[in-house]
Chains A and B, each alone.
Chain A
Amino acid sequence: MSLWSRIINVVRGDRLNREVDEELESHIEEAMEQGRDPAEARRAFGSALRHREASRDAKLIMWLESLLADSIFGLRQLKKSRITSAAAILSLALAIGACISAFRLVDALLLRPLPVARADRLYVASRQGLSFNGIPGTFDGTEYPLFQLMRDTVKDQAELIAVSWAQRVDLTYASDQETEKAYLQYVSGHMFGMFGLQPALGRLLTENDDLKPGAHPYAVLSRDYWTSRFGQDPKVIGRTFRMGTGLYEIVGVVEAPFTGTEPGTVTDIFLPTMMHEGVTHADWSWIRTLVQLKPGVAAEPAREKLQANFRSFQEERAKGFTGIPKQKIQNFLNQRIVLEPAAAGASDLQKDNRPSLTALAILVVLVLLIACANVANLMTAQAAARAREMALRISIGAGRSRLMQLVLIESAWIALLAAAFGWLFAWWSAPFVVSRINPPANPARVSLPADWRVLGFALALTLAVTFLFGLIPALRASAIKPANALKGGEDPHSRRRLMHALIAVQVAFCFLVLFVAALFVTTFDRLSHQSTGFSAERLLTLDTVTKSPQASAFWDQVADQLRTVPGVEKVAVAGWPLLDGNGWNGFVSANGAPPSPVLAYFLSVSPGWAETMKIPLVGGRDFLATDTSPGAAIVNEAFAKAYFNGENPLGKSFEKTSHQTRFLIVGVVSDARYRNMREPITPTAYVPFHAINASKSLTQQDQATFIVRTISPDPLALASTLRQEIPRARPEFRVSRIRTQLEINQSHTVRERLLAMLGLFFAVVALLLAGVGLYGVLHYSVVQRRREISIRIAVGAQARSIARLITVEVFPMVLIGGVAGLGLGMASVRYIETLFYEVKATDLAMLAFPSLTLLAVALFAALPAVIRAVRTDPAAMLRAE
């Protein structure tokens, strides 16, 4: 109570004074009533001021009051040198804002625990080893029958939960015509119970909703979806929606903030795993296995049990493999189960962005350090101007600690104001970056709450920054020797030495930022100019679904109808567009040889597809309407190289080993990119869209993509016409998604674009800060040495030697910093090598760019100070002194 009142009294010092005065007045009045002489009574009292002081001391906490006084003084000091303060605050604000922003992203995507019970005991079971392609890595997919096996085995140690990847699906509510998109996740019925989730409305799924395949058509909505799609209508319970051929009933809404287990995607609808047709397939891996360890259970014993299950399951599966090379099967069997912590959930977005976010976070920290060095330099220069004031303070009895407090509080003000602006910057920039993580058609949704975690980080950062740039000036201020300073003879070199060291640090970090940014920009440049082997211009892709599988003749009919639309140049049908992420692969054997270890990729296409895509036919012919799959195939040149030693494959045949189907090669096309922009071109076989089954009858398809090349340069202009034209041709057909091929291509460089953009931004900021820092230091040294310069000029020094005098101390620092930055860059770059494409850190151009840029900026920053020094008018200067 007493402590509190004393703290309160600090802030209401005025009121306190008034109360003490009033009490004294009332005392004097009382005295006069008792008949004492007013003058005598007042005299007896002595100085009112002394009373106030004595009473105040009793009522206040001294250090708190001094803190308050110093704060006010510090703020005034900042106001006095407005431009310096603004420069310091703004540069720091940018850096702190970028830091907070980066933290918000990293936290939301990678660190923040899922809002579920016992998130800290949550793991995801991944398999680690060589993939079919022979590439080492981890894969977190599981087959459902394996999941069931594992769940039973570790029942005593852990509870296993199956969750599918969040997928974007087409569904319809009331009217059958309007389809809409929603993010859907198949989850184990018992997940809601295990996670301790509560319904906001209706009920959640339970174990009983997840017993028999296809028997539980019940859906739970997320609160977010319930709000945005239904405006929180309580009558949503009992409504149905159609997805594919199934009809589902909404039974409940799960309470916020749970929106699925994949940071980066907000799941709208949860269905029981049993409603997925994959539950009975031992060769479909479509779920993640989340492992919730029971209290007191260690991860390793549970993992060993899972491993045993996994191994026997894999062995069983391998028995069914035909036509797969032995080594591949061994790789497959050698995979092992690992338990990776999944308190923050598990998603591909996390996996894909972990390295790039980490790289960005490091860049941001570097920029912050540069800004801190900058502000420290500004403060040091300012402290020099205030050396006399500090000396005076010491002379009249201020303690060293009080002086340190004074300077540190000033630093704290700068940091605090910068953090406030930085917070605003982070408010805007974090969502901006999130919106650019994924392609615009499929935006990442990350909830970015500004809660105690972010606030705590910001405060800790502010404190750290305060000490980072404030401690050295504070220590220097407190170490002032009053006698020297008042004489004006404080050793100027020591101060400059510190500032020069800070310049070296700044240059080193700046070099590092520039270096990494240049690598990112080059990567993006190389990747986006990577040849795809086809022409994406004027190309529109229409992903189309049918209510029930349709004969391929009907698909042709729709394509024919589209050809009649004005503005359409060419139309073809394909299983899916190139580069859209879909893939169909298998092992092949050519000329009856054993299957090759190289995976081949397949895509079903209609006649005229290569022409529509503008992929040149190198030899042979295009498909005819009578060609079927299996039967005929057109292969790319990489295919010929991989399986026919580069010989002309025309007229030869190959066997797709998994189903022992034969294909005769009727044509060869030049290479085109199938899966992504980074890999080497995959050996690819295009097969006819008309497929036949084992009994030689034509099969039916329920989804494919129409590829349309338009006449006008903007293909999207035709989008709505084509969307309407398709159901008009055959009412069972519906367009589920329209994209331009260009958009699909660009989605492969989204991450690189983001990294290049942010890298460039940070590089500019770092350069600017380093430039300002250098300018400030040179300017300070010119001001400080103006007497010396005047004398030198007066005795006839040349402009060149003056310029040398000013810069000779700094440029070695720039050089040292540059070399140190280069060393740092070389050492650190291999940790982010995976983010680069066709660019090496040791490329001469990559080293030349940051060096030359830095040199140019250093020269530019030095220019004003040098000009000022050279133009010093010795007569005026010496007269003024």
Chain B
Amino acid sequence: MPKPDSLQGSLDLLVLKILSRRPRLHGYAIMSAIQDMSSEVLRVEEGSLYPALHRMEEAGWIRAEWITKDTGRRARMYQLTAAGKKQLGAEESRWQALTSAVNRVLRMA
């Protein structure tokens, strides 16, 4: 398993945040939401989204269930767990610390 780098760290944060606002989304909806809210600035690669989702699921931060859509196809819906909420808090404060540190450096330099 690759180590989560800072980019993946922020991907986790974004996914968790979105799921905390809007429970029960499938992968595509999460991807679109990140894209829409960031006004197309942040694009999530499909290639990194799903492994991240599965990793977070295994970690117990999010929970998934299969639902059947009107088309008859099954879709996998994700929602936040209690552990995920805690993780979100931690990720958020880590992000705050990181950005403020980066900002400080930018100001000082």
Determine whether the beta carbon of A55 is less than 8 Å from that of B51: yes
**Stretch from B9-17, B70-78, B98-106 contacting the other chain:** B70-78
Chain A nearest Cβ from B30, distance in angstroms: 10
Give the chain B neighbours of A737 by CB distance below 8 A.
none
Determine whether the beta carbon of B54 is less than 8 Å from that of A58: yes
Determine whether the beta carbon of A51 is less than 8 Å from that of B76: no
Contact for B27 among A2, A27, A58, CB less than 8 A:
A27
Determine whether the beta carbon of A23 is less than 8 Å from that of B51: no
Determine whether the beta carbon of B28 is less than 8 Å from that of A30: yes
**Chain B positions 16-57 with a Cβ under 8 Å from a chain A Cβ:** 26-29, 32, 45-47, 50-51, 54-55, 57
Say whether B97 faces chain A, with CB atoms less than 8 Å apart: no
**Stretch from A42-50, A782-790, A809-817 contacting the other chain:** A42-50
Say whether B7 faces chain A, with CB atoms less than 8 Å apart: no
Determine whether the beta carbon of B58 is less than 8 Å from that of A5: yes
Determine whether the beta carbon of B73 is less than 8 Å from that of A29: yes
Q: Within the assembled complex, what's the spacing in Å between the Cα atoms of A24 and B53? A: 12
Give the chain B neighbours of A58 by CB distance below 8 A.
1, 51, 54-55, 57-58
Determine whether the beta carbon of A50 is less than 8 Å from that of B47: yes
Say whether A26 faces chain B, with CB atoms less than 8 Å apart: yes
Determine whether the beta carbon of A27 is less than 8 Å from that of B58: no
Binary CB contact string for chain A from 287 to 308 against chain B (1 if under 8 A, 0 otherwise): 0000000000000000000000
Residues A44 and B46 in contact in the complex (CB < 8 Å), given A26-B76, A54-B51, A58-B1: yes
Contact for B60 among A2, A22, A25, A45, CB less than 8 A:
A2
The main secondary structure of chain A at its interface with chain B is: helix
Say whether B59 faces chain A, with CB atoms less than 8 Å apart: yes
Determine whether the beta carbon of B51 is less than 8 Å from that of A51: yes
Contact for A30 among B1, B26, B47, B57, CB less than 8 A:
B26
Which residue on A lies nearest to B71, using beta carbons? A29
The main secondary structure of chain B at its interface with chain A is: helix
Counting chain B CB atoms within 10 Å of each CB, the highest count among A46, A57, A58, A59 belongs to A58
Give the chain B neighbours of A54 by CB distance below 8 A.
47, 50-51, 54
Q: Within the assembled complex, what's the spacing in Å between the Cα atoms of A476 and B57? A: 42
Which residue on B lies nearest to A60, using beta carbons? B58
Determine whether the beta carbon of B28 is less than 8 Å from that of A27: yes
Determine whether the beta carbon of B1 is less than 8 Å from that of A24: no
Say whether A34 faces chain B, with CB atoms less than 8 Å apart: yes
Chain B nearest Cβ from A38, distance in angstroms: 14
Q: Within the assembled complex, what's the spacing in Å between the Cα atoms of A59 and B28? A: 21
Determine whether the beta carbon of B32 is less than 8 Å from that of A51: no
Say whether A568 faces chain B, with CB atoms less than 8 Å apart: no
Give the chain B neighbours of A6 by CB distance below 8 A.
58
Which residue on B lies nearest to A36, using beta carbons? B28
Contact for A24 among B50, B60, B74, CB less than 8 A:
B50
Which residue on B lies nearest to A56, using beta carbons? B54
Give the chain B neighbours of A24 by CB distance below 8 A.
46, 50
Chain A nearest Cβ from B94, distance in angstroms: 21
Which residue on A lies nearest to B45, using beta carbons? A44
Interface set of B (CB-CB < 8 Å, partner A): 1, 26-29, 32, 45-47, 50-51, 54-55, 57-60, 69, 71, 73-76
Known: A30-B29, A34-B32, A58-B54. 5 other contacts (CB 8 A): A1-B60, A26-B74, A54-B47, A58-B1, A58-B55
Interface set of A (CB-CB < 8 Å, partner B): 1-2, 5-6, 19-20, 22-27, 29-31, 34, 44-46, 50-51, 54-55, 57-59
Q: List 25 A-B contacts (CB under 8 A).
A: A2-B60, A5-B58, A19-B76, A22-B74, A23-B50, A23-B75, A24-B46, A24-B50, A25-B73, A26-B73, A26-B75, A27-B46, A29-B71, A30-B26, A46-B46, A50-B47, A51-B51, A54-B47, A54-B51, A55-B51, A57-B51, A58-B51, A58-B54, A58-B58, A59-B54
Report the 4 A-B pairs with minimum CB-CB distance, sorted nearest first.
A30-B28, A54-B51, A58-B55, A58-B54
